[in-house]
Amino acid sequence: MAAFDYVSSALRTIRLEAEAVTALSARINGQFTAACELILNCTGRVIVTGMGKSGHIGKKIAATLASTGTPAFFVHPGEASHGDLGMITKNDIVLAISYSGTSSEIVTLLPLLKRAGIKIISMSANAQSTLGEVAEVNLDISVVFEACPLDLAPTSSTTATLVMGDALAIALLEARGFTAEDFAFSHPGGALGRKLLLRVADVMHSGDDIPRVAPDTPMLDALMVMSEKGFGMTTVMDPAGNLLGIFTDGDLRRSIDKGVDIRTAKVGELMNTHPKMLRENTLAAEALALMEQAKINVLLITNEQKSLVGVVKINDLLRAGII
């Protein structure tokens, strides 16, 4: 038995699906604009529905819409006929996906949706189909060939449908002025949410936890404060509570290398007067990037008045999952 050429088969599939996606560009037209405007003017949700493979793609489209500022969820058309139709209100829009435009489970719902005055956007290869004729707008997802050599299994067509859904979601995202912070509120869990939502104020040490000494403090006493607080550094403050500088373990090593007698030196003589600082509303991910770039383990945190309010260690950020 001759060895099958898996590579050629895979490359053919990729080529056909890429051609199907490229062909969508010519269909981003007035119908696409009308679909976007219908959704933007909708006061309810986008209800996505589809049967079989179209349903699987529809679930992803609904999830993408919901996470990018367009309230949406998926309703199975078969279940809709058995009670789930009650999930759809008159303020909603239905995005119905059917390549043929004649899926019986969806066609069954159309009279009920129209009677309720619910607007329909269809994704179909046939604008003259039952679904396409009933819909206010039809987004053309037709393909010349499926990647399946039998031209039967939905492959190129489902890829084109998915890309059309992504194009719709991203156009709406941009039209709404949706921001990275808005996106984070839809993704509060995991590393993504932590990177986009967590501020240094959420993880910093403040109040009495901040090591503080006066500039005339003997070095040995300053080292005791550093050891007690466990930050590997101490801030140096004047009597009015203003920050003068910082003294770290690294400064200690450099001072010893220079032959400084730490038994007689004052911390104010050896401190760094230009420490790295960030505002308390800075993203924790930004703080981590600065610390890695500057090769430091501690950052001083200030408020809008540039007064010291906290200290953040790199370990605090790592424990918070900012990686």
- Could you tell me which residues come within 8 angstroms of residue 55 by beta carbon, excluding any fewer than 6 positions away? 49, 74, 76, 77, 97
CB 126 within 8 A of CB 133: no
Question: What pLDDT was estimated at residue 112?
Answer: 93
Per-residue pLDDT averaged across 234-253, rounded?
91
Q: Which two tokens stand for residue 103?
A: 């899926």
**pLDDT tens digits for range 130-154:** 999 999 999 999 999 999 998 889 9
Residue 58: name the closest of 23, 99, 26 by CA: 99
| DSSP per-residue string spanning 122-142 | EEES-TTSHHHHHSSEEEE--
Which whole-number Å values give the CA distances from 322 to 9, 189, 195, 270, 286, in the listed order? 42, 12, 6, 33, 10
Percent of the chain with pLDDT over 90: 67
The pLDDT score that the predictor gives to residue 284 is: 82
Per the confidence metrics, is the pTM higher than 0.75?
A: no
CB 48 within 8 A of CB 59: yes
Looking at the predicted structure, is the pLDDT value of residue 38 above 90?
Answer: yes
Looking at residue 2, its pLDDT comes to 72
- For residue 212, the tally of other CB atoms under 10 A from its CB is 15
List, in order, residues 6 or more apart from 270 with CB less than 8 Å away. 219, 247, 251, 255, 260
Task: Give 315 or 246, the one with higher predicted confidence.
Answer: 246
pLDDT digits (tens, 9 = 90+) for 65-85: 998 889 999 999 999 888 888
Spatial distance between the Cα atoms of 251 and 98, rounded to a whole number of angstroms: 68
CA distance 54 to 221: 71
Tell me, what's the pLDDT at 173?
92
pLDDT (average), residues 288-302: 88
pLDDT digits (tens, 9 = 90+) for 198-225: 788 888 999 999 999 999 999 999 999 9
Domains of the chain (ranges; CATH) run 6-178 (3.40.50.10490), 200-319 (3.10.580.10)
Determine the pLDDT at residue 155.
95
Nearest CA among 39, 164, 47 for reference residue 99: 164
pLDDT reported for residue 23: 96
Please report, as a single letter, which amino acid is at residue 265: A
What is the token pair recorded at 187? 């993704």
Q: Where are the beta strands (DSSP E) in the chain?
A: 46-50, 72-74, 93-97, 119-124, 137-140, 212-213, 233-237, 243-248, 277-279, 298-302, 308-313
